Amino acid sequence: MTDKSVIILSLMLFHSSFINGKTCRRQLVEEWHPQPSSYVVNWTLTENICLDFYRDCWFLGVNTKIDTSGNQAVPQICPLQIQLGDILVISSEPSLQFPEINLMNVSETSFVGCVQNTTMEDQLLFGCRLKGMHTVNSKWLSVGTHYFITVMASGPSPCPLGLRLNVTVKQQFCQESLSSEFCSGHGKCLSEAWSKTYSCHCQPPFSGKYCQELDACSFKPCKNNGSCINKRENWDEQAYECVCHPPFTGKIKQCIYKLLTEIKLHFKRGGSHL
């Protein structure tokens, strides 16, 4: 390890002693974007370092409940949640651009413990040292959660100081086919924080995996205390049936047909009152 590297690591250790941790803010709900987005992560200790993955590393609102029992502090760059097909760029600051540094894909256990396996050359993200800006190959951004740590060919690793990143890549289940409209045009394709996927959130009166089903009963079409039963079909005028209580009847006629018929027959027979 060069003298320059030792000096840099010493400065990083000095700097880390003054880090109080930052809360990483993110939206609680995000909508799927049809076109890929690009994310640039600054590989630095001067910003976006949080100290506790389950608390400080996410600002989720006062009503969010997360079990924090038994979890240890894991200083790291703010976690990232992206969608499948997005582009991730790692940008290193000049003070980190010494020869031995690279990034490695590791397991969650190795991520928490900053364990570097120097024999796993096939797990290195880049074929050269980390210098300037590097685009992460899509093979490291498949669906699921990925854990990246800083590694060096020799000497102490700066990973324990917070130079590690976990990235969750989400897929969407909002289309019946690639040519289908998202959520059948009756909802939004959304993902909540900590969710592993995007799914349809339907607008009333639609429901179903792709918002393809109409809840016709939401209009309360059955009169006179009749019970409405959805037929779970696409929108049409017969998407429901009414179960009527005597003397009312009429599956699609809103439980009034039989009563009106009896009234007409009564007066036809000369009745003066019911």
Cβ burial, residue 106 (10 Å; 0-12/13-18/19+): buried
Q: What pLDDT was estimated at residue 259?
A: 44
Q: Which CATH superfamily is domain 173-215 in?
A: Laminin (2.10.25.10)
Say which residues have a Cβ less than 8 Å from residue 28's Cβ, sequence separation at least 6: 60, 61, 64, 192, 193
Count how many Cα atoms sit within 13 Å of the Cα of residue 65 in the half-sphere of its side chain: 0
Residue 178: CB atoms within 10 Å:
5
Rounded CA gap, 235 and 239, in Å? 6
User: In the prediction, which pLDDT does 207 show?
Assistant: 87
CA distance 175 to 274: 56
Task: With beta carbons less than 8 A apart as the criterion, state whether 95 and 4 touch.
Answer: no
Q: Summarize pLDDT for 54-68 with one digit per residue, the tens.
A: 556 765 443 334 444
Determine the Cα–Cα distance for residues 109 and 2; give it in Å rounded to an integer: 30
The structural domains of the chain, with segments of one domain joined by +, span 27-59+73-170, 173-215, 216-269
Determine contact, residues 160/111, Cβ cutoff 8 Å. no
Q: How far apart are CA 161 and CA 194, in angstroms?
A: 25
pLDDT score at 52: 65
Residue 258, amino acid: K
The span from the CA of 80 to the CA of 82, in Å, is 6
Percentages helix, strand, coil for the chain (3-state, rounded to 5) are 20, 30, 55
pLDDT value of position 47: 78
Q: What pLDDT shows up at residue 8?
A: 45
**CATH architecture of residue range(s) 27-59+73-170:** Sandwich (2.60)
* Residue 72, pLDDT score: 59
Task: Return phi, psi of residue 112, to 5°.
Answer: -65, -40
Which residues in the chain come in under a pLDDT of 70?
A: 1-23, 52-56, 58-72, 94-99, 117-119, 155, 232-238, 251-274
Long-range Cβ contacts of 45-48 (<8 Å, 24+ apart): 45/12, 45/15, 45/16, 45/19, 45/158, 45/161, 45/162, 45/163, 46/15, 46/93, 47/22, 48/22, 48/24, 48/77, 48/78
Tell me how many helices (H) and strands (E) the chain has.
Answer: 3, 16
